Amino acid sequence: MLIPKRLIFILLITIACTSFGKLELLGDLPNSLKEVSASEKIPNSNLIWVIEDSGNENILYGLETTGEISKYITLNEAKNIDWEDITADEYGNIYIGDFGNNNKKRTYFQIYKVYNKELENSTAKAHTIQFTLPADTKPKDFEAFFIHKDIFYLFSKEHKIFSVFTVPNAVGTHTATYISSLELEGKDTRVTSADISFDGKSVVLLNHKRLWKFTDYDETNFFSGKKEKLPLKHNSQKEGICFKNDSILIITDERHSTEGGNIYSFILN
């Protein structure tokens, strides 16, 4: 039986406007991107930059909000050991966190810097910022970081209590500095991505089914102010979060069978 074109159009519009809990579906990720582990938006660009995690190619993808791939950038002098998050500075330079450590056996980690001027090319040189953890620190797994005032803030992936470390934004080798720890209430609170707003007034941490918003903090002591637990009412393997602007977030999740593989928006304020 043929379905009238008008009915098909209405069906497509209905699907496009479907709300997943408090998330608004923007688009589907391409089937070729099954393990999107991060997302980031830079100033003066409408693209959403994403990466895939371990076992995938060393490629930076620029997506439209519908999920369509607009840019492929192969990174030279880089290896995807376990790419887990992306951040960007005020100049539009992109940083890729190669610091996944599921088996807790890694002793060194990388952050790859890609200059904004190279984002128009099909290949780009990755400049390496390498770091280790302090000697008295147990091995950590990281999936989340952001940059603020030329300092990277990294959040360990832990049950309940996570740790925060800093690394300077300078090509070379460094020892990370331990800053603090924080306990998140509830189950499944491992931090999978993080970001700070463009105005520097809000920090968000992502779990698979909720996010945490921190505001009114003192300078860079992000946990000194107000903390809000924001349930998403939708459970999937959410791995990427970034600010579209100071009040709207972009969230991505990995594809597993018929679940996930989408781009969502979330109104924060």
**Residues 126 and 113: beta-carbon distance below 8 Å:** yes
**Residues 231 and 224: beta-carbon distance below 8 Å:** no
Question: pLDDT over 90 for what percent of the chain?
Answer: 85
Scan for tokens 């995690």, then name that residue: 53
Distance CA 255, CA 200 (A): 31
* 4: confidence class by pLDDT, cuts 50, 70, 90: low
Question: pLDDT over 70 for what percent of the chain?
Answer: 93
Distance CA 93, CA 118 (A): 9
Scan for tokens 């128009």, then name that residue: 120
**By mean pLDDT, which of 8-17, 172-181, 253-262 is the weakest?**
8-17
* 269: confidence class by pLDDT, cuts 50, 70, 90: confident
Query: Residue 19 above 70 pLDDT?
Result: no
More confident site: 194 or 18: 194
Where do the structural domains in the chain lie, given as residue ranges?
Answer: 20-267
Q: What is the average pLDDT across 250-261?
A: 90
Report pTM. Answer: 0.91
* 129: confidence class by pLDDT, cuts 50, 70, 90: very high
Q: What is the average pLDDT across 121-132?
A: 98
Q: What is the pLDDT of residues 160-172, one digit of tens each?
A: 899 999 999 999 9
* 88: confidence class by pLDDT, cuts 50, 70, 90: very high
The reported pLDDT for the residue numbered 122 is: 97
Q: Minimal CA–CA distance to 49: which of 3, 93, 111?
A: 93
Q: What is the pLDDT of residues 102-123, one digit of tens each?
A: 999 999 999 999 999 999 999 9
Domain 20-267, second-level architecture: 6 Propeller (2.120)
Residue 79 makes CB contacts below 8 A (sequence gap 6+) with 58, 98
Task: Give the burial class of 53: count Cβ atoms within 10 A of its Cβ; 0-12 exposed, 13-18 middle, 19 or more buried.
Answer: buried
Instruction: Please tell me what DSSP assigns to residue 11.
Output: H
